[in-house]
Structure 1
Amino acid sequence: MEQLSKYHENKPHRLKRITWYIVNATIFRCLPGMPLRYIRNALLKAFGAAIPWRVPIYCSVKIYMPWNLSIGKYSCIGPHVELYNKAPIIIGDSVVVSQGAYLCTASHNISASQMDLVTKPIILKDRAWVASDAFIGMGVTVGEGAVIGARAAVFKDIEPWTVVGGNPAKYIKKRILKNE
């Protein structure tokens, strides 16, 4: 344990991070409903998020660093989603991140004595769906049109137009749209 006593993590944007934490825990959460999404999105934009005005992001969403968040048009971030984005989270167009999902861009190097922080971005390509309570780990790219099943834990890239589920997530089937 002695090695961990020397652990140090560089924390850039400390004041900005503290200010956002207070805003996200108070004002952001006190603006419920879809009509107030414009005010929530204005707050996110003020802190550097790249998002369209009309994207619904529920007031219960917890975002670690808005300046590391990019969301495309027609996407939706559902209730109680947590975006732990020490590295960028890039969400494409028409993506749904359902209630309780957790996207985590950071971990620790378990091969180093001080378990240094490591970060990698998460990318959700157009038309993907992350279902309820799913976990997406750092460095994962979810391909276009892919579906991450409820409560799945994803640690590796997911091919486009596939459905995965379980822990760890495994291939279930191809996703085929019948009306297109």
Structure 2
Amino acid sequence: MFAHCSTSAPATDLALLKALAAYRDKEIGRASGKVMARHMWYVSEELVGLSLFDEATVVEEKRAIVSAMQQRLGEKNPPRRADVALDAVEQRSLASFATTNSVGLVTALGAGHDFLNVDPAEWSGRDDYTTARRRTRHLRVVNDFAERGVALISAFCGAITRDEEQRQHLLQVVERHRALYPCAK
């Protein structure tokens, strides 16, 4: 379960959440939006910077993101995913998630971040930007929640038991274990 383009993940996640908030059946939209809001990894203040390398992100939005990266102080220990209130999501933009912590992603790409001091309209001709952009193309965007579920079923389906009731119990035990010990191999 992964997208082919890491740079579009922040915009895609935000657009989906906005669509769910505006869904005509408010009860379904609210329930779906609550679930999606718990998985907003790619609009976190650390990963929203991926959208700077997305060709679909307009220059004005890139300017706003860079401005926020330079001016809005990030938390000392930022949350791993964005906290998005469903009733206020329509007013949110990618830039509203960016903070000084967003520079960390650009730094981690190892190509320098001097391009952030130049207008985004001029980035395409800069080596530091094009190198960083090329590196983002090799990043895999993973839906951890879905991927874990598929892996869990694949690993245990039929391998240990053929009884459906036992299988369901086993899946719950394994899932509980993974929640308690996320780094256990």
Shared fold, TM over 0.5: no
Question: Which structure has more RCO (C-alpha within 8 Å, separation ≥ 6)?
Answer: 2
**Between Structure 1 and Structure 2, which shows a larger proportion of strand residues?**
1
TM-score by length of 1: 0.24
Larger Rg, first or second structure (1 or 2): 2
